Structure 1
């Protein structure tokens, strides 16, 4: 198969923890080919476990040489397929595991333009190009001291989140570099440049060192999102010589304001694998950021991933950070952000209640309770956290209560309960409370014009996490809701989530097995067309127009206004219940 009409293919990579995946799409967004290099299987001589080396002190690392071999291997395999003409590839972009960092030696960047197609990447770059043979992985949790220092230097977790979009996290790149500078000073001194994994892969493909991409740089605890520059106070946690550190980081990151290639494909790949010598390399980004580029998400749309944990991604123009979630600059929509809210207790908590209703782990009794119109839970509210929760940030706990409005209707009075009438009440309440928690957390991130003018919630103050808002703040509704993940196949759960969130322009369900690499494909295609003057459409409009709505998405219809308004009565009760945790 070859590309028709314009004769164009676009490549999207996903360098994740356990594999390197490359997708090929044509100009109609049709998937032409998928190639995967599994690290443990295909590169077993590195002796990784699920792509990483695990150490007793919590350090988790990946061998950089393994990634170099994977890049060669993925192109070698694709070049053998007759249905892919690699000379038709116009552009590449992609996704990489977020927060990881690669450390270049003084000679490293200078070796990239000199790559010889007669030798492999590993033969020419390893170990000479790197001051450190391994890269920290996002699973690393060895930087507790460094995280504490980062938050103290900024005035606390809330202030660090205000500056960088997130509080300090073990996996974030700033604390990781700080740890290396402190515990491996000879390595830090020998490091001329530091790449994120995303800019590392872009550099390999372009045959020249490329700067960090701005959206991915927001996952470092070093980047001041408001000023759109590295923050000197935070840089000093790593190195008193902030200018030297800025130089190591490669200068200012690449912004999302206007798509431009970081370079043209290295002659190494052209000569070795027959790729297009004019193929453009566009910035790579982090995996979560690439995910929102794989879907036609527009401002005030929300993506709900119902997996083992629950993750919310949304596109917003509101910069309202919190220590309990993350905000990143959006990788393709100027003056917008990606919000990411992660819950530990998703499927596991629901399954525990399911199993109390069915010894055979059958979902039918659970679903019947969730959708029941006769099971009265109007005055019930509950939180189910078998694991310690991130949002709200509390230890493992269960709380059940009934509630009633105070005589003046300004407050809610709770009566804590050890149990409800039966477990069917728990089934209904857990789905509603999980969805309602999502709703109240996304509300401050939605634009003011998302408020439903037909609703009057009053001005009683409610508290969630670090926010105190009047109830009127919570009458905002997302434009569209997209549901993915294992539990998105459960109609009862998805329909109840849709009722609680109240999207005004539709609810959709889809499967996203290749979302990170596919986001790279779409970004490569749009960036190429925009840069060449073949489209002037913003990314979100372009993807909405080109997206394969008839085949790739299932519409779940509109939310009933009455169903959405029913849950307004439980917002204040949830706030009061969380105060007891």
Structure 2
């Protein structure tokens, strides 16, 4: 028999489960799709029990595969979408659908926080994505639901509760709520009291803590033994970083999924960052990370595919982009389709093509979108460098790491080496590593990573290409200021 762990990622578009053995080999992967409810512009919700049912379904399917016939699940852990609010009543039932990380309805609550205590709270900017703003929206708009709240959770915490019966929140996710001080690792009761939140914050644990066994009835339903250990897990970005070996100061990750992230490790001695950068706890006890976010990174390419280049698949679109030239023949794209997080923190800004002419082709449109997303991510890298961080190597994961063309483009724009993993499973691998480490299968986390993490190709920057890209990046940086008032007014009139 082969001992395995499960890494479970509660995403926005799907739940993904992987089974990993002691050698770091992924025996099987299964995923279940999720639907997002968008009742009106700016609203984004999911039913918490949909996450749980998708998790159950994915695990059941995974366990019936041939590769798992001789496997024994010994432990599991989680990663999950961050910020999204689940409110729970005294019977531990969700009171309403979860308000997701990309929901932007809470602008008035952001303004209230900024008027009261300023535009940065516990080392983070006040933005609609964060959990505190969503709590205040419920308080202001749904008083009947507000009176029922016993506690709140984030997505993976709810699924973990359903599997174990135990309610906890771990630091990497809690630090993304605007209610936890990431340096002190304590709930900020003063902030909760100031805004009338009350005592609803759950018990805190470390990401790698053992938090219980899989409930007996759940284990029977899944066909698992009763001794499956559950470990707390982490937010998706922290787990994605762990799964890519990003655990030392200045280690840097570029993740391009629906959103895009530049994440760089900190040793908890850093200065306060601005520029709408985020500062969260890592899944390691002695490590934090600073992070910039592009809300519509892969989402911009998805929009292009679904609405403009509808007859092409993603590889074809990327190939088309490679057939254009640096600067997309004088065409710029800003990826503000869902507003923007870093550096602007503006939920009202919208995307644009600048310089579009009858001479531009589908190739140019495709390249402009890829370049614009990469420029947005480079904005975070450039700021971090300006604050003294040394970034000379970036590990790329997600959709942006599946194309050698896009990886080389990242290297040239970022002006740094960019590596991709030989085997990449994203945040679910980070969750699996937490379970492996928790079970004590290796003498240290470093030893786990040495076995599990294998880098593939490394792309080196071309200084001449970087210089060409910077000529366009300088113009790109001006687009926000030139279009902000126009797109804000368009948004108001379209409502």
TM over 0.5: yes
Q: TM-score, normalised by structure 2?
A: 0.76
Instruction: Answer yes or no: is the 8 Å Cα contact 1:214–1:255 preserved in 2.
Output: yes
Asked whether 1:223 is paired with 2:180, we answer: yes
Asked whether 1:99 is paired with 2:88, we answer: no
Aligned partners of 1:66 and 1:571: how far apart in 2?
A: 42
Asked whether 1:501 is paired with 2:440, we answer: no
Q: CA deviation at 1:199?
A: 1.7
Matched residue of 2:15: which SS? strand
Superposed CA offset, 1:502-542 (max 9, x none): 33xx4323588742322211221123227xxx413xx4x33
Instruction: Answer yes or no: is the 8 Å Cα contact 2:398–2:426 preserved in 1.
Output: no
Aligned partners of 1:435 and 1:364: how far apart in 2?
A: 16
Aligned partners of 2:479 and 2:61: how far apart in 1?
A: 56
Superposed CA offset, 1:298-334 (max 9, x none): 4323333456764323333445433533222112262
Asked whether 1:13 is paired with 2:8, we answer: yes
Aligned partners of 1:565 and 1:57: how far apart in 2?
A: 40
1:311 pairs, out of 253, 261, 275, with 261
Q: Which runs of 5+ in 1 are unaligned?
A: 40-49, 109-128, 401-417, 447-472
Q: Which residue of 1 aligns with 2:289?
A: 337
Q: Which residue of 1 aligns with 2:124?
A: 165
Q: In 2 relative to 1, CA 86–166 (structure 1 residues): closer, same or farther, beyond 3 Å? A: farther
Give 1 or 2 for the bigger CA radius of gyration: 1
Q: In 2 relative to 1, CA 190–395 (structure 1 residues): closer, same or farther, beyond 3 Å? A: closer
Instruction: Answer yes or no: is the 8 Å Cα contact 1:289–1:338 preserved in 2.
Output: no
Instruction: Answer yes or no: is the 8 Å Cα contact 2:317–2:366 preserved in 1.
Output: no
Matches within 5 A, 1:443-482: 443-445=382-384, 473=386, 477-482=390-395
Instruction: Answer yes or no: is the 8 Å Cα contact 2:211–2:231 preserved in 1.
Output: yes
Q: Which residue of 1 aligns with 2:452?
A: 547
Q: In 2 relative to 1, CA 545–23 (structure 1 residues): closer, same or farther, beyond 3 Å? A: same
Matched residue of 2:126: which SS? coil
Q: Which residue of 1 aligns with 2:429?
A: 518
Matched residue of 2:150: which SS? strand
Q: CA deviation at 1:28?
A: 1.0
Instruction: Answer yes or no: is the 8 Å Cα contact 2:80–2:235 preserved in 1.
Output: yes
Q: TM-score, normalised by structure 1?
A: 0.66
- RMSD over aligned CA atoms reads 4.3
Asked whether 1:286 is paired with 2:235, we answer: yes
Q: Which runs of 5+ in 2 are unaligned?
A: 484-495
Superposed CA offset, 1:140-196 (max 9, x none): 3332222221222222x2x23xx2423221x42212222223333343333322222
Matched residue of 1:324: which SS? coil
Instruction: Answer yes or no: is the 8 Å Cα contact 2:14–2:31 preserved in 1.
Output: yes
What is the number of equivalent residue pairs in this alignment? 467
Q: Which residue of 2 aligns with 1:451?
A: none
Matches within 5 A, 1:69-108: 69-81=53-65, 83-84=67-68, 88-106=72-90, 108=91
Q: In 2 relative to 1, CA 219–512 (structure 1 residues): closer, same or farther, beyond 3 Å? A: farther
Aligned partners of 1:349 and 1:94: how far apart in 2?
A: 28
2:136 pairs, out of 178, 181, 202, with 178
Q: In 2 relative to 1, CA 200–314 (structure 1 residues): closer, same or farther, beyond 3 Å? A: same
